[in-house]
């Protein structure tokens, strides 16, 4: 009886092991029906690439920009939206990236932003620990089809079509915290065709990067590869084909993008 039990257990284990192996083997050798590239960003001073998992963006995070968008900047709770991860359009420092004017819009806006890139995740992260999740920083543009965003907002529909479209996130390389530290203050500017349009200081953010991570982690489980656009200062405005945008954050190389 014991022996039969052992044998049957062994057989069951063996079968389980075989079945498990077979499953693993199938999973291990199975190929996807077609290839889909993992969006990545270069890491400055490294041969490694940063794999982009999700793009989170905070809305209205500078008081003067909140006012120009028609809302009360009196520290309303932060709100977030996402762009698809393949919306990143990498632009190498020293070059001018060609950025196609997207379809459907007649009012295409720039928003220059500091981007935090995470190498650790978490849920309900305390603000005091939040910066431990940050791998590095980049400069990015949260490009916006403002007319579509506003029209959808007016109709109380999701504004996704205004924000989350192809190549809506031109961005420079990730600079590791070990090289550049954390960004809690410093100049953030955007010029269009050499003319200063946006000009503010990162310390004017309503919610700091640490606070954004903490708040986001209450709504979503953050994971390595997530990047967070930390909001734009006031004086957003339109660009048209031919315009060259030059974004700059003190401590990071210039981001130069031509709309084509």
Residues that bind Mn ion (CB under 5 A): 111, 142, 232
Q: What is the token pair recorded at 184?
A: 């809690």
* Residue closest to Mn ion (Cβ): 142
SS3 64: helix
Q: Rounded to the nearest whole angstrom, what is the least distance from the CB of residue 258 to Mn ion in the complex?
A: 20
What residues have CB less than 8 Å from 73, skipping those under 6 apart?
60, 62, 63, 64, 66, 67, 206
Output the six-digit token pair for 166: 């192809």
CA distances (Å), 205 to each of 40, 113, 130, 211, 220, in order? Answer: 27, 11, 16, 10, 22
Of the two residues 142 and 226, which places its CB atom closer to Mn ion in the complex?
142
Q: Shortest gap between Cβ of 111 and Mn ion (angstroms)? A: 4
CA distance 141 to 96: 14
- For residue 231, the minimal CB distance to Mn ion (Å) is 6
Nearer Cβ to Mn ion, position 81 or 90?
81
Q: Assign residue 156 a region: left if phi > 0, alpha if psi is -120 to 50, beta otherwise?
A: left
- Label residues 219-228 b or e (16+ Cβ within 10 Å = b): eeebeebbbb
> In angstroms, what is the minimal distance from the CB of 79 to Mn ion?
11
Least CB distance to Mn ion at residue 109 (A): 9
Nearer to Mn ion, 110 or 135 (CB): 110
Output 43 or 114, the one with its CB closest to Mn ion.
114
Cβ proximity to Mn ion: between 111 and 248 the closer is 111
Distance from C-alpha of 207 to C-alpha of 198, rounded to nearest angstrom: 19
């Amino acid at each position: 009886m014991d022996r039969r039990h052992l044998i049957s257990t062994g057989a069951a284990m063996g079968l389980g092991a075989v079945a498990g192996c077979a499953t693993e083997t199938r999973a291990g050798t199975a190929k996807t029906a077609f290839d889909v590239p993992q969006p990545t960003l270069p890491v400055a001073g490294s041969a490694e690439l940063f794999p982009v998992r999700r793009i989170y963006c905070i809305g209205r995070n500078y008081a003067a920009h909140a006012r120009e968008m028609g809302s009360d900047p009196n520290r309303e709770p932060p709100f977030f939206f996402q762009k698809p991860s393949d919306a990143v359009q990498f632009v190498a420092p020293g070059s001018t990236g060609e950025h196609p004017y997207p379809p459907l819009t007649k009012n295409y806006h720039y928003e220059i932003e500091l981007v935090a890139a995470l190498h650790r995740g978490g849920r309900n992260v305390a603000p005091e620990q939040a910066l431990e999740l940050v791998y590095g920083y980049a400069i990015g543009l949260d490009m916006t089809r403002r007319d579509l965003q506003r029209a959808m907002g007016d109709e109380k529909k999701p504004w996704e079509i205004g924000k989350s479209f192809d190549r809506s996130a031109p961005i420079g390389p990730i600079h590791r915290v070990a090289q550049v530290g954390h960004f809690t203050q410093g100049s953030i500017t955007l010029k269009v065709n050499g003319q200063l349009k946006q000009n503010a200081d990162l310390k004017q953010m309503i919610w700091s990067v640490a606070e954004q991570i903490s708040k986001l982690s209450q709504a979503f489980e953050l994971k390595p590869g997530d990047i967070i656009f930390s909001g734009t200062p006031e004086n957003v405005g339109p660009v048209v084909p031919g315009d060259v945008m030059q974004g700059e954050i003190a401590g990071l190389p210039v981001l130069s993008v031509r709309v084509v």
